[in-house]
Structure 1
Amino acid sequence: MTLTASYEFCRRLNARHGRSYYLATLLLPAWKRPHVHALYGFARYADEIVDSFTMTGDRAAALDGLTARLALALDGAHTDDPVLPAFTQTVRSFGIDHADIDAFLRSMRADLTVGRYATYDDLLGYMEGSAAVIGTMMLPVLEPLPGLAGRAREPARRLGLAFQLTNFLRDVTEDLARGRVYLPLEDLDRFGVRVTDLGRRAPTPAVRELLAFEVERARDHYRQALAGPDLLTPSSRPCVRAACELYGGILNRIEAAHHDVLGRRVTVPRRRRLAIFTRHLLAASAADRAERRVTVQVP
């Protein structure tokens, strides 16, 4: 597994499994894209171990194997793993915090044994590793403006949480099939919803009210992330803004469907996704060209 092949493997994972996210990455300068793909590829690779409907065998042992191979690869050892050469190269290149990687793997391990979260705070503890740290790992690649990396961290965390909660709302049925409920049980109790109600083919009025409440909770995370793009180098801003629109658009579609996420998978139509991409493409191209203009003074 060459480094080039590993980056290409990660790109294909992103293109296959993260259509909206992949579309947004096309707005980045070409040199940044492979590193974003590497981070996404690693996250998706681990997620498939714990979430795939088709994987057979001991998932805990498979995750242990990935963790062990990662530790060796981060120490410089050769690996034939398809994702780790690209991932570890990106981690080293950008000084990505190993504590974020550890937090992510802890949340992936939690998925093997935890299927319910009693409170929203409990869920946030899980999402800190499964989502918030994805935002902070992406941050060095997206390049905060000089001196603003500290300020950019919280919006990056919030955006990760917003994307994750959006996915939870869209994927209620799929998650339930895996034995998991990512809506806090205290919220189900508040609206008079039973877990079995989430397995119906159509939502009850109580389920619709519950989902409307969670949609607003997700939107609050998006609002908390609004300042993030302005803290990044201009060439990264169109990608992040487009991703916000694409994922935020899922919430709009959930509302348009009267919060019915049980009978069908809610998606943003392809035409709408392309319209968002096109609208941000001009700004992305202009920012990329501007950053390529350098004045070199020869001594």
Structure 2
Amino acid sequence: MATSDIYATTFDEDVQQEVTTNQCSECGGRVTTNARETVCENCGLVIDEQQIDRGPEWRSFEQEERERTGAPLTVARHDRGLSTKIGRGTDANGNVLSGRKRQQLDRLRREQTRGKWQSKADRNLSHGLGEVRRITSALGLSETIRDQACALFRSAQSSDLLLGRSIEGMAAASVHGACRCNGRTRTIDDVTEVAQVRESRVTNCYKTINAELGLPAKPMTPSMFVPRLASELDIPDSVRRRAERLAETAEDEAITTGVSPSGFAGACIYKAACECDQELTQAQVVDAAGVSPVTLRTHRDTLVKES
């Protein structure tokens, strides 16, 4: 028997016959874990299923012939990344295709495009997930936020929340919901700037998602906006730390309830800059915070009064 066959057989036996020391919660029998599920040998109770296979992802166990099987599954695609793409111009070895072969591939590509979606729901899902990827890329969000937003859009479609609503609006609302659940300082205004839909529709879609799916959205506080505004205004770290202390003190005294967190954070930065003799105009803070000068001065006066 070859070395590769011995290794493969040993790996299969280890995966299939891995036994845990846990006992069954129902009958106290021995629990066995294989590559798919954890079951009790006595009563047959399925304790866990759909486990992650942590074995090698190679198609061959020969050291010199190892090749990866492809990209991992992703929720950012309607088919989870399992689709096949037909290339153009050359074959797998880089050879130029003949005219007859190109015509054949064109026909195959056309038939593949026609059978890409099994239903109108799959087509809507593909369009919505593409919009989610575009918005998260434009906002510079991480892949984790992107995947959570795509999963949220899937849940909204499964709950029939897309009926009578814009796909673009629901995609933007999913991105905003993922940001809120992770405590990211991305307001609806920020999402709407890069979305292809009006702010009112994004707001209505987000309210629907939040109410129907019960999102664990975190409240947005002024202290969360201070680092972002400080980075945009390029102020020293001493001013930023002072602004964060002002915002945290105001939150502890409950004077930030019902106010714009971005505007109040801008007021904290402006007051901290004045205390540290840093040149910073109200116009600069207003442009970064996205509020009016009257709002900025009102929040600044509140800070001065409470200090």
RCO higher in 1 or 2 (8 Å CA, sep ≥ 6)?
1
Tell whether the structures are fold-level matches, with TM greater than 0.5: no
TM-score between both structures, scaled by the size of structure 1: 0.25
Bigger share in helix = 1
Asked which structure has the greater CA Rg, the reply is 2
TM-score between both structures, scaled by the size of structure 2: 0.24
